[in-house]
Structure 1
């Protein structure tokens, strides 16, 4: 068993969903940093790159697809996997516009989400 704790950055504006994700992922032994807005994410994520970004698409001050594109075009973060989440967007559109490694449709199945996270982190 790998003793290195994987870090996951969660960007989700819905507080209850963010809390569920934080609790769920923490129980699976991930270190989780949660953010409610793009501006909080940009301020709080400097120099502490996670092993995975889990990004909502519709946010109060921006768009997760734009943020994904920004992360994928940065030398510092381009190799960090991204999972996108949305209740409103379709997977094809997201995959065409952003180089995310996966898509989670909301409402999500907890076990499906965990399998996707594990799969993406395993490479």
Structure 2
């Protein structure tokens, strides 16, 4: 089973993503803030990271940059979601594998995830 880490501060969006992705047979670990994510179990590397840009205590772009610098995450796809940021901003800052604008089409998101992790 493939694992996806989600960092999203909006409880409703996070819960929808969790339920939907788990129904598609993904193991989902979710975090409501950058701090929660920073305190994760570092002994495990997921198959995909999904970060919201605006977090209450940081930025998904900063998390993306950190992930990209860690050797253990080499080759692990990173998706950025945002209702505010533009694709170009995130591309320059952290080189995400996909940018998902909010509101998003859940089926399109699933197609992108499947492309990168299956």
Q: TM-score range with shorter-chain normalisation?
A: over 0.9
TM-score, scaled relative to structure 1:
0.92
Alpha-carbon distance in 2 for matches of 1:50, 1:17: 20
* Structure 1 SS opposite 2:72: coil
Listed as ranges, the matches of 1:6-45 within 5 Å are: 6-45=2-41
Instruction: Provide, for residues 73-109 of structure 1, a one-character-per-residue CA deviation record: whole Å limited to 9, x for no partner.
Output: 1111132110000000001111111121011100100
Asked whether 1:74 is paired with 2:70, we answer yes
Indicate yes or no: 2:92 matched with 1:96: yes
Q: Spell out structure 1 runs of 4+ moving beyond 4 A.
A: none
| Partner of residue 56 from structure 1, selected from 49, 52, 61 | 52
Alignment coverage as a number of residue pairs: 118
RMSD between aligned residues: 0.9
Could you list the runs of 5+ residues in structure 1 that have no partner in the other structure? none
